[in-house]
Every structure is written in C-alpha cells, then in structure tokens.
Amino acid sequence: MIEERFLLAQERICEIKEEHGLPENFRDYFAAMAEFVMMTADTYKYVAEGKLYLASLDELKRLNHKLYEDILSENYGNSYGNPACSVAKLGEDYGKLLSALYAELRSMIPWAFEKQLDEMVIRMELFLEIYGAFLCAWEESKELPEYEDIRKTMYFFVSDYTRESFIKKLDAMLNPENDFALSIMRASDLKSPEYLYYFGEYITDNELKTWEHLKNVPEETIALMANTYTEGYRIGFEVGNKDISKKKTVNIRYCLGFERMIKRSVENFGKIGLKPTIYRAAVSLLQGKGLNRIGYYGAIPNKQYDFDHKDDQALFLDKRLLQVRLEAWQEAYETYKEQAAVFGGPAVVEVFGEAPVDLKEKKEALHLSKTQQKLAVEYMSAAGEIQNKYIKGEERSFTIIAFPTPEIGEDYPAIFDEVIKINTLDYSLYQRLQQTIIDTLDQGKYVLVKGMGDNKTNLKIMLHTLTDLQRQTNFENCVADVNIPVGEVFTSPVLTGTEGVLFVSRVYLNELEYKDISITFKDGMVTDYTCANFDTEEENKKYIRDNVLFHHETLPMGEFAIGTNTTAYVVGRKYGIEDKFPILIAEKTGPHFAVGDTCYSHAEEVRVYNPDGKEIIARDNECSIKRKEDSSKAYFNCHTDITIPYDELGEVSVVTADDEVITIIEEGRFVLPGCEELNKPLEEM
C-alpha cells in the first residue's frame, strides 16, 4: 500500500512543473517544491537500489550539497525556506505558511536515507493536498483558497500523525534494535570518509576534518576519550546512589565525525551491560523539532534557517492539539513501559568551536502568541511528568563531554589535545581542593557575588540551614562524572531572600550569543531581564523570554555554583576561544547560576552523598517542593547555566551565622587558604 501511494504521489508531483493553472508567484512556489520532492524521491531510489554505497566520494559530495544547497546562507535570500523571501513573493499569511510547509518537506531528506517510505509518502500527500486546494480554487473562481482551510490542512496533518510519530520517537530512543546509525558504523572500518554521507545529514569540511583528525589519533588516545566518557556515565550512577545494574540501554548523542570514539564507547558500554540507542535529532514538526539538536546530527546548514522556523508550531498549536499530543505521549510510553524502565539515560558528546552567527529576529517568521506560549509551557510540564513516570528521575543518570571541531581555527589540533587534558584532569586533586571550598561555604547563611570593572553583578544567595555539620552539606563536590570535565561545587539555593542582579558582558547559551545580559532576581525568582543584542528593549526582552525563559513568566534560580577549572579558563584565553566554549566547560570557569529547575529535578528524594560521606541536603527549593502537592507547579523543564568569567569577577564571599565574611575569590583569584593551587594556571597565563 505504501509503495503504491508513493508511486501515485510521485507520478502526480512530476506533472506539477508543467502545469500553469495558478498565478505566476504561486506556480513558481509549487514547481520549486515539486522539484525538491522529486529530488528526495530520486534519493530514496538511489539508496534503495544500493547505489549510495557504491558511489565515489566526489559523487557523494555532489549529492549531499544538492540536497541542502537551497537553504545555505549564500542562497538563502532567494529560498522559500526563508520566511522573508516567501512573504515577499506570496504575501504575509501564505508566505509564512508555505515557508513552514517547505521546512516540513525538507524532513524527507533523512527519511529517504533511512528508507522510511511511509514518512516520505505522508508529506508528499500533504503537499499534493495543499496544491490541489490552490488549483481547484483558482480554476473555479480565479481566487486563492481560504487561508484558514489551508492552515487546517497543516493542522490535521500534525494531529492525525502525532500518535504514530511519538511511537516511532520512543522506539528510536528505547529500542537498541533500531540501529540505523550504529549499523553504518559497524559496516565501515572508518578509514575512509564515504560512510559520513550514508547518514543523510549535511556534511562539510568540519565533519571531514574531524573524521581525519580522529583517524590519525593513536588508539590509546581514542581509548582515553571513550573511557573518560563511559566511566563518567558509570560513576554518575554510583555518585547518585543509583543502581546501574537495573539498566539495559544508554542513549548516545553526538555529532558526525566522532564515530571512531563512539564505536569504542559502544564496546565499553557493552562491558557494563548497556546496549546503545542512537537516534537522529528531530527534523520534523511531528517530532517536536527545535533549535537544539538532541540526538545525532551532522553540520547545521544554516542557523538562521533553524532560527526562522523554531516557532512553526504557531500554525496549529491549540488546546485540542496539546491534549492530542499528551494522550499520544502517554500511549507511547505505555506501549514501551518495559523498555523505559531499563533505560539509563543519555550519554552526550557535545562539540564547540563553530563560527558565531548574528541571528536576526524576523517579523516574517512565525511566532507563538502569548496564549500559545502558555500552552507550550503547559505541554513541556505535562510531557515531562509523563516521561518521569516511566523513566524515573531517581533511577536514571547521564553524562556530557565536549570536544572542539576544526572550525575553531588553525590551532585545532593543539586545542583538541588541550581539551583532552582538561577532560582528564586529576580527579583526586580537584576533589580535595573543592572540599576545602565546601567546608567554608557550609559555615555560611548566604553568599555574596559581585562583579568588577563593567560587570554589574551584585547578588545575595541564601543557603539552606544545616542542622548537623558532621553529616550534612549544602554543596555537591562535582568531579568527573555526569558533567565532564571536573571543576565545580554547586547547590540549590533557598529562594526566599536570594536577590540582586546577574550580569555578563558576553555569553553563549544554547548556541545563541547574548551581549550585556542582565537578569534581576527577587526572592530567587526572575523579575526583570534584558540584553544589548537588538536596537529595541522589546526585541531584547523577547530574545531572552523565548530562549532563556522558554516562554515562562518567570523562573527560579535553580542552581548556584563556583567553577574551579582554572586550567580550562587559561586554555580559553590562550587560544582566544572563551566565547566558543560550551556551557559544559564554560560553567567551570567561574561562578555560574542556572535559571530553571534544580540539578536534582525529579530526583529530590534520592539521598546523595559527597566523597567525604556527608549528605547533600540542598536538593529542593520553594518551587520543587510543590511536587508533594501538585507536580505541575514544581517543575519548569528547563535549566540554563550563566557563567561569570574570572576576569569579570570581583568577589565571592560567604557570610557566616556570626556575620563573619570569608572571602573565597577576590578579583578573579582564589584567596581561600588551601586553594592556592587553583591559581597556578592563572599565574602562568
């Protein structure tokens, strides 16, 4: 049936380019879309017939570029994927909608490589249904169809296929037999780069040079990278007092080019009884695609394109669809409840070093209304609760490690080696130094953090009251487990009384740049925010609200931490890459503050201990504790870390119950006795 539908749709789409029954602007749009859809159909046949695996490297490069060239920055000005271009040619309403349709059709590229014909067919039929509506209306009355009728076609496409899509999404995450990516790795010796083009992702010199660098790295270095990564995952369970023996699967997430390390990591995980699931980052509205790629992925063809389409669900998001999605999520998890119970959590390999992009907020792009923003928040919260019911927070863990990509610059090989050193710093040394800091902090009732120079930070962070100093602590001694590399002590602050201004001159959060970001807290909750990215205050606030607050009216300060990895800070300065560090490393290079949930979200009841045997009692705050009455009010399902670098840091001091002030950091240097070794990298800078 699927093959027959595919052939029928293909035959009809082939005819569109020769038809002239629409006004010229719409005729051009549908002809361009028909050409693209036929290109993906040809790609499917190319893969299905095995030609992909016989092609030369040059041929693979040509095919890959052809599939993605329309949305590359040099062509984007005239692409229907660009809402501004689409609106200019097709009018405001249809320009936005048909640009979103094109973005959805582009999800057919990976389906062609995975030979998932059903996913291709439903999008081909959606395209034909919308084209047919335009053609019929114009032939009957020389008028375009009603916008609302076409919008409803998109709406019911999403509504009708949500359940099936969610089932597939969970199958990819929980079922190790769903091994498209892993089978590519296993079938290749990885000594030649052709295999990179078999995934169906966009491939650039960045991925090819990453592959080439790792190809030439000694086997012991690959082993060190993989061992650090997989051991961090295992230790995360151990430190979190969780039983890894109950788990059977681990989800590996990474960027293409690192297959040699990933292949070795799969072997390591197998030795501790875990099978990998490796799924593609979401590419479709049905999967809930967003700005962040969660899964495996290749190069990002155009970040502005992703930014322009981040709110395409504004076309259809309403209360009814929210309910459809939640019911589908519940049904999918019920179907996979046994697999969910033995799912250990994600093991993530991040990359950094890409050239920054000056993203533009376009009025022509789709944007969520205030009502839809509230619905999006409501959905995130409810979906998070469903997931935690089946994948219990108190039983799962994770790990994250990061490496640079060649795009970071000509010093890439040296930087790569430096990052390996950062990721493998002396565990026991940092554990001892950080324990000195924790013992001091545990004497306090609150902490003061102040900026210096142009940094306007002035914060008071309240700490939980310890009733037994011999057995309790507020701060976790974070070494190399879930968050690699080593280098922070963190806590969940008491919200009441926590107040002031957090300011950073320049920071990247979730791959987006923020200039002079300023966030004001009162009783631990965000009360105001701004930045200097745009010309108007309205644009600046919207940028933060959309991408840091994730449409919430406010968020709590979910975490306060002191980063101690001065080695990473110095590497950043030495090579001028501080602005390119991922938050994973950046958060270790100064004090940082998270807006959103605490680090113990959904696992507050699990008793957690430091290496010295003391229990970390600061696992809740005034928001998370609401879970005991109404869990929908306890969590925000987001957590964004914002770091103040040492060179903007004037003071970090703890104020004791006797009002004694003990300074830990002053003018970017550790002044607490016993922590002098942390200054050595800074002195050598």
Q: What is the pLDDT of residues 161-199, one digit of tens each?
A: 999 999 999 999 999 999 999 999 999 999 999 999 999
Per-residue pLDDT, 480: 64
Check pLDDT > 90 for residue 354.
no
Per-residue pLDDT, 639: 92
Q: Nearest 5 degrees, angle CA 223-CA 229-CA 230?
A: 90
Q: Residues 433, 436, 440, 446: is their CA dihedral positive or negative?
A: positive
Mean predicted confidence (pLDDT) in 662-676? 96
Q: Are 2 and 121 in contact (CB under 8 A)?
A: yes
Grade residue 239 by pLDDT with cuts at 50, 70 and 90: confident
Per-residue pLDDT, 26: 97
Per-residue pLDDT, 291: 76
Check pLDDT > 90 for residue 608.
no
Per-residue pLDDT, 141: 93
Kindly state the helix (H) or strand (E) to which residue 133 belongs, with its residue range: helix 117-141
Write down the mean pLDDT value for the chain. 94
Residue type, 58: D
Q: Which tokens sit at 635?
A: 């969590």
- Considering the chain, what percentage of its residues have pLDDT values greater than 90? 84
CA distance 370 to 252: 35
Q: Which tokens sit at 665?
A: 């950091």
Q: Which tokens sit at 353?
A: 């070093």
Q: DSSP letters along 532-589, please? A: SSSSSHHHHHHHHHHHTSTT-S--BEEEEEEE--HHHHHHHHHHT-GGGS-HHHHTTS
Check pLDDT > 90 for residue 33.
yes
Grade residue 584 by pLDDT with cuts at 50, 70 and 90: confident
Q: Find the range with the poorest average confidence among 120-134, 408-422, 473-487.
A: 473-487
Secondary structure (3-state) at 618? coil
Check pLDDT > 70 for residue 111.
yes
CA distance 220 to 224: 6
What count of Cα atoms within 13 Å lies in the side-chain half-sphere of residue 40? 30
Per-residue pLDDT, 317: 95
Check pLDDT > 80 for residue 511.
no
Per-residue pLDDT, 41: 97
Taking Cα atoms as reference points, which of 517, 530, 502, 523 lies closest to residue 649?
Answer: 502
Q: Find the range with the poorest average confidence among 377-386, 474-483, 499-508.
A: 474-483
Grade residue 399 by pLDDT with cuts at 50, 70 and 90: very high
Write the pLDDT tens digit of every residue in 245-304: 999 999 999 999 999 999 999 999 999 999 999 999 999 999 888 778 899 999 999 999
pTM: 0.87
Mean predicted confidence (pLDDT) in 540-546? 94
Kindly list the distances between the CA atom of residue 479 and the CA atoms of 128, 396, 456, 486, 634, in Å, as whole numbers in the listed order.
55, 19, 30, 4, 28
